[in-house]
Amino acid sequence: MNRARLVAEFVRIALGVVFLVAANEKFFTTQPNPADGTTGVGTFAAIISRHSIIPEALSLQAARSTLAFECVLGMWLLVGWRPVAAVRVALASLVTFSLYLAGVYLRNGEPTCGCFGVLHADSLAWSIAVNLTLGALSVWALLVFRRQAIS
């Protein structure tokens, strides 16, 4: 295995860890939701509701779906089964999440996204920058995998 392939595999594994940590931090957050005192998924649902992009009635389902998706994708990336497909899905997710966050910022200037629960509560701009950096690494890994004809 050459150095570029080794680094591409590291990127795949790092993406898996990022998605699992993000899901874990949202699920196990101890910061209570101000509206009803719930923690974890309820807090993340309250953040989604404040974004005013998804109807409030669907915010809990959106939070649960996001966490489930991040867990499944994170495990898929770590396992390494069909790495090109897994990294493509991760890239599409990062782009989708970034577009959502940009919409939130343009719509109401929400200062945080809850992307990593209370572990890392930085601004939306920081979250978008992280997503774009991970996206660029994903593109690079895909190019390496493609060059080496790995599916």
pTM: 0.92
87-107 per-position pLDDT tens digit: 999 999 999 999 999 999 898
Task: Tell me 58's DSSP state.
Answer: G
Give residue 120's pLDDT. 65
Six-digit token pair at 6?
A: 């080794």
Residue 108 in this model has a pLDDT that exceeds 90: no
Q: Which residue has the higher pLDDT, 107 or 150?
A: 107
Hey, where are the domains in the chain?
3-147
d(CA 25, CA 40): 8
Give residue 151's pLDDT. 47
Residue 63 and residue 44 in contact, taking contact as beta carbons nearer than 8 Å: yes
Q: Which helix (H) or strand (E) holds 86?
A: helix 83-108
Give strand pairing partners of 77.
none
Residue 85 in this model has a pLDDT that exceeds 60: yes
Q: Calculate the average pLDDT of the chain.
A: 90
Average pLDDT of span 123-144:
93
Q: Which residues contact 82 (CB under 8 A, 6 or more apart)?
A: 151
Give residue 10's pLDDT. 98
Q: Which residue has the higher pLDDT, 117 or 14?
A: 14
